[in-house]
Amino acid sequence: MGDFNSSLNIEDNYTGSSNITTGMRDFKACVEEIEVFDINSSGLHYTWNQKPKRGNGVFKKIDRVMGNISFTDSFPSSCALFQPYRVSDHTPCILKLPSVARDRPKPFKFANFLVRKEGFLEAVKEGWVMEVKGHPMFRVVKKLRALKTPMRRLLLKQGNLHKKVELLRSEIDDVQKLLDRDPSDEDLRSKETGLLKEFRAATLDEEEFLKQKSKVKLSLGDTNSKFFHNTIKSNSHLNRIEVINNSVGESFEGGEVPMAIVQHYKNFLG
């Protein structure tokens, strides 16, 4: 964190040249090379200003707080606050590292790969024949809600997808090492065939699950678990709302944010 003395993007400059300078190009290349990105931030966008006696002056964002995936893993609720600059030409910045406390259960999210699993159709059929009285749309909502439990149970049955892939990969390595010593062993060949079949199915499940969570559209076959994992973590960090101001200018942070939003709509809608 600090003064990088160069803008990173075109939108970081309010006035002055609208071209990408050599300094910006070098800075962007460096950021991509070391794989860092801006930490979730709020407050002022332009962090440096140069105000002549006449004219609009120059406003730029040249101060930043950046981190990598490891940092946001360790501090998922980290947030940079850029404060008013007052008499200085730079904005002061505060990096907050609050501890994460989940005060509510995770929302239900259906994993698309479950449609290929044994027991999926049976669970849906069983849930859909349930007798529900009321308006047709009410009946649909009730039945969908009732399907959460069997779908969670089916997902739990699949185990940890990432650990399953790692375990199968390790088992394949061990079998192939033994086969290298005795290529004629039919039992080892049969075991290798079975493990490879399981491994392909497990990697397909993992790939589809990660693609769905990362919301990245790539063609099938572009398996890269690390890329999808990092995209999920980065999106999760950047999509957090850590600071919000209500209609009268009061500021709310961290766990107070959801209640401030709820209160706003209570006041607005009655």
Single out the residue of 141, 114, 117 nearest to residue 127, CA to CA: 141
The letter for the amino acid at 90 is: H
Structure tokens at 30: 């460096």
Instruction: Please give the residue range of the domain that contains residue 247.
Output: 240-270
HSE toward the beta carbon, residue 89, CA cutoff 13 A? 11
Residue 23 has pLDDT above 80, yes or no: yes
Domain boundary pick from 70, 101, 132: 101
Residue partners of 90: CB distance under 8 A and separation at least 6 = 3, 47, 48, 63
Residue 2 has pLDDT above 50, yes or no: yes
Residue 178 has pLDDT above 80, yes or no: yes
Residue 105 has pLDDT above 80, yes or no: no
251 or 167, greater pLDDT: 167
Q: Is residue 34 part of a domain?
A: yes
Q: Is residue 155 part of a domain?
A: no
What CATH number corresponds to the domain at position 28? 3.60.10.10
Q: Is residue 211 part of a domain?
A: no
Q: Is residue 116 part of a domain?
A: no
The residues facing 3 across adjacent strands are 63
Single out the residue of 205, 207, 200, 198 nearest to residue 113, CA to CA: 205
Q: Which pTM value belongs to this model?
A: 0.50
Is the distance from CB of 44 to CB of 61 less than 8 angstroms? Answer: no
Q: Is residue 202 part of a domain?
A: no
Cα angle at 170 between 169 and 171, to 5 degrees? 90
Q: Is residue 9 part of a domain?
A: yes
**What is the number of domains present in the chain?**
2
Q: Is residue 50 part of a domain?
A: yes
Domain boundary pick from 101, 116, 139: 101
* Residue-level pLDDT at 172: 93
Is the distance from CB of 87 to CB of 48 less than 8 angstroms? Answer: no
